[in-house]
Amino acid sequence: MASARRLGIAMDFSPCSIKAFQWTVDNIVKEGDNLILIIIRPEEYEHGEMQLWEVTGSPLTPLGEFINSDLPKKYEIKTDPEVLKIATTAIEQKKVVVLVKVYWGDAREKLCEAIEQVPLDGLTMGNRGLGTLRRAIMGSVSNYVVNNASCPVTVVKSSGQHH
């Protein structure tokens, strides 16, 4: 039997990233895959572990274990019931494993690092709606990742509505 594919989803719990997660489950996921929710936090994390995991990110943690621990609070992550619903459905219907990995720092660099380190066979992300000015200065995260990633990257477009 072929080894499980490791599919990353860039997850910031925005409507855009939730849509990308749902799309991945509906269109890409096969039985036995590992789905890895890659969560990028801003640098300002000051607890002890951060120094430990600054380079490699947090350990891969099964979603259920992550949600039922103090980690979301500790990492200041607001989980979303919709994400849990999509994940639970994928676990039950497609027999996949859903894992969480948290990185701290610049989303563009950290997503590319995650691809190398996990390593990922593919990454799905939403085209996050940065304002036009911010995008002009920062450059789009999805653009950067598409151009620098060492695995296939799927960008799931959200309709032009802003929440």
Assess if CATH 2.40.128.110 describes domain 6-156. Answer: no
pTM for this entry: 0.85
What pLDDT, in 10s, does the model give residues 22-81?
999 999 999 999 999 999 887 765 666 666 677 788 889 999 999 899 989 888 888 889
The pLDDT confidence band at residue 14, using thresholds 50, 70 and 90, is confident
Over residues 140-153, the mean pLDDT reads 91
Taking the CB of residue 69, how many other CB atoms lie within 10 A of it? 11
**What integer best gives the mean pLDDT of the chain?**
86
Taking the CB of residue 157, how many other CB atoms lie within 10 A of it? 12
Q: How far apart are the C-alpha atoms of 163 and 160, rounded to whole Å? A: 10
Q: How far apart are the C-alpha atoms of 94 and 16, rounded to whole Å? A: 23
The pLDDT confidence band at residue 131, using thresholds 50, 70 and 90, is low
Q: Which of 38, 37, 8, 29 is nearest to 95 (CA)?
A: 29
The predicted pLDDT at position 163 comes to 40
CA atoms within 13 A on the CB side of 124: 23
Specify the higher pLDDT residue, 89 or 159. 89
Q: What is the three-state SS of 25-58?
A: HHHCCCCCCEEEEEEEECCCCCCHHHHHHCCCCC
pLDDT at 133 over 70: no
The answer to whether 61 touches 36, Cβ cutoff 8 Å, is: no
pLDDT at 135 over 50: yes
Tokens of 97: 């494993």
Q: Could you state, in order of their start, the residue ranges of all structural domains in the chain?
A: 6-156
The pLDDT confidence band at residue 139, using thresholds 50, 70 and 90, is low
